[in-house]
Structure 1
Amino acid sequence: MQGQNGRGTDMPPAVSVRLEVIKRRSDFLKAARAQRRGMPGFLLQARRRASDEPDPSAIRVGFTCSRKVGNAVTRNRAKRRLRALAREILPQLGRPGWDYVLVGRPGATVTRDFAAMREDLIRALRRIHESPQ
């Protein structure tokens, strides 16, 4: 069923929000200690950044896949799929001042239907933002 925006869901229209990529290990570790939502295709880790951290208005996102996901080709494919999900969903449902890390799962991240992964990410974000921090 097509939504109002032609994307298949009733998400708000695309907003031009630039996602910043998390690159520092310390930022990944902070996200790992925060909220987690396990989904069939990936694990989502999310945290609200402290007010004293840089750029409180940006949405930051990181991606990681361990060797358990597969060889280098498989890990890169999994990360490409996770990046595509983040570019599509986080500008609408992500919140400024938050860090999100998408962690690939062995087998599932590469083989799961992309539409199902999209719905998983939407559901995970809603659950994270509904729960008390």
Structure 2
Amino acid sequence: MLPSENRLRRREDFATAMRRGRRAGRPHLVVHLSGVSDPHPAQESLPAPRAGFVVSKAVGNAVVRNRVQRRLRHLVRDRLTLLPAGSLVVVRALPGAGDVASDQLARELDAALERLLGGVRP
């Protein structure tokens, strides 16, 4: 489970990350990353990075969707330290994500984050 300060909950936050942020697509997921607007902010004023997940009915039934969301939440929790402070991340699962193993999802998430963060290897 993600800590409370690292969860995206509001619709506006999801919309901001998906519309204004950069994205990296992979075969089974798409990662949207929206950073902070000020390039030189004071470190103590920045909130923790926050993550949200979108797993639609196209992925599978409720059991499959919940399993995919739990896997993605676990993977993102381990990678929160790589994200810039104040950033918003939305991970959107694509159809077929329920049929792949967790290690495959981890590789795709790592590749997407590496692309979005400019070569920082998770």
Question: Into which bin does the TM-score normalised by the smaller protein fall?
Answer: 0.7 to 0.9
Pick the aligned partner of 1:39 from 23, 26, 41: 26
Q: Are 2:59 and 1:72 aligned?
A: no
Deviations 1:39-85 (A, max 9, x none): 12211011013459xx6241100011111112211211111111011
Counterpart of 1:56 in structure 2 is 46
Deviation at 1:94, TM superposition (A): 1.7
* C-alpha separation in 2, matches of 1:23 and 1:36: 20
Equivalent residue pairs, number: 110
Deviations 1:103-123 (A, max 9, x none): 11112x222222222122222
- Over the aligned positions, Cα root-mean-square deviation in angstroms equals 2.1
Aligned-residue sequence identity (percent) comes to 35
**TM-score, reference length from structure 1:** 0.73
3-state SS of paired residue (2:77) = helix
Deviation at 1:22, TM superposition (A): 0.2
Counterpart of 2:84 in structure 1 is 95
Query: 4+ runs of 1 displaced by more than 4 Å?
Result: none
**Residues 26 and 125 of structure 1: CA distance in aligned 2, closer, same or farther (over 3 Å):** same
Report if the CA contact (8 A) 1:37-1:124 is conserved: yes
Report if the CA contact (8 A) 1:59-1:97 is conserved: yes
**TM-score, reference length from structure 2:** 0.79
Higher RCO (CA-CA < 8 Å; seq separation 6+): 2
Deviation at 1:88, TM superposition (A): 1.8
Gaps of 5+ in 1: 1-17
Gaps of 5+ in 2: none
Counterpart of 2:99 in structure 1 is 111
3-state SS of paired residue (1:61) = strand
